[in-house]
Amino acid sequence: MTATVVPTAHRVLRRTVETHDSVTLELGPVHAPLPGFRPGQFMMLCAPGVGEIPISSCGDPTSRHGVSEHTIRRVGAVSAALHDADVGRMIGVRGPFGTGWNLAAATGRDLLIIAGGVGFAAVRAPVLAVRADRAAYRAVTVVVGARSPEEILYRGELDDWRAAGIDVLVTVDQPAPGWSGPIGFVTEVLGRLDLDPARTRAILCGPEAMMRFSVRVLLGKGVAPDAVEVSLERNMQCGIGVCGHCQLGELLLCRDGPVVDYASAAPLMHTREL
């Protein structure tokens, strides 16, 4: 799959408010559509006159109409400009870049999808891919952690996923009035799961501390390290492994990641200097 390395013009077709600081933008190409993406890959989004940042592709990977979706959290100048873009605004897009989740390896097995905070955006695409081909997998479980109920992304979609045969478990650190779901960290939910380790494959995205402790729980339950994938985040600027800003040990994450098998990622994630 070939990436487009020069930004191409896209127009904001829809802007969906997810939380107080996060929105999902649906972008349509002004001219020819970009190549399709694999779940787990990212695009470089450019706010004209402000800058460019990497954002996960969180839409339906089976779509072929050229429209892409990206959930953006407002944290800096570029993300703020993208977050605030109204319908009709022009945005530059190039990609797709990086590695994707190995969903084929989960065929016929139990698939566990784990996300924390805005990391949920990076696993929405594999959830949509699995939903479209649900019969290819045994049990599919999505475990999501958020600081509070108001911070949960895609709240309007979760019941549809459950109706499609996907078990969705959401836990929050700080409950709010009316919240009846689990309270606590993702690791606590994982600890209560009854897994068949020989049949389980897991993918994780979120804060690195969350991923480290979550993987520790999975390994303690007997899941093999090579059956676990994590998505790592660093300062990606070029997207093609040239500038070196995203180096992590021997990896250039825009090229060799962001999805990395845990057996390879473990020594890097546990080195403080990196």
Domain map of the chain by residue range? Answer: 4-97, 103-194+202-216
Could you check whether 4-97 and 103-194+202-216 share the same CATH topology? no
Please give the CATH topology (third level) of the domain spanning 103-194+202-216.
Rossmann fold (3.40.50)
CA distance 45 to 42: 9
What pLDDT band is residue 274 in, cutting at 50, 70 and 90? very low
Q: What's CA 38's distance to the chain center, in Å?
A: 12
The CATH number of 4-97 is 2.40.30.10
Region of 90 (left: φ > 0; alpha: ψ -120 to 50; beta: rest) is beta
What local confidence, expressed as pLDDT, does residue 271 receive? Answer: 61
SS3 state of residue 151: helix
Instruction: Report the DSSP pairing between strands 68-73 and 51-56.
Output: unpaired
CA distance 199 to 212: 21
pTM of the model: 0.94
Mean pLDDT of 164-170: 97
Region of 241 (left: φ > 0; alpha: ψ -120 to 50; beta: rest) is left
- pLDDT tens-digit profile of 204-251? 999 999 999 999 999 999 999 999 999 998 888 898 889 998 888 889
What local confidence, expressed as pLDDT, does residue 262 receive? Answer: 94
What local confidence, expressed as pLDDT, does residue 81 receive? Answer: 98
- Residue 226 vs residues 142, 155, 254: alpha-carbon distances, Å: 19, 31, 21
Flag whether pLDDT at 273 surpasses 50.
Answer: no
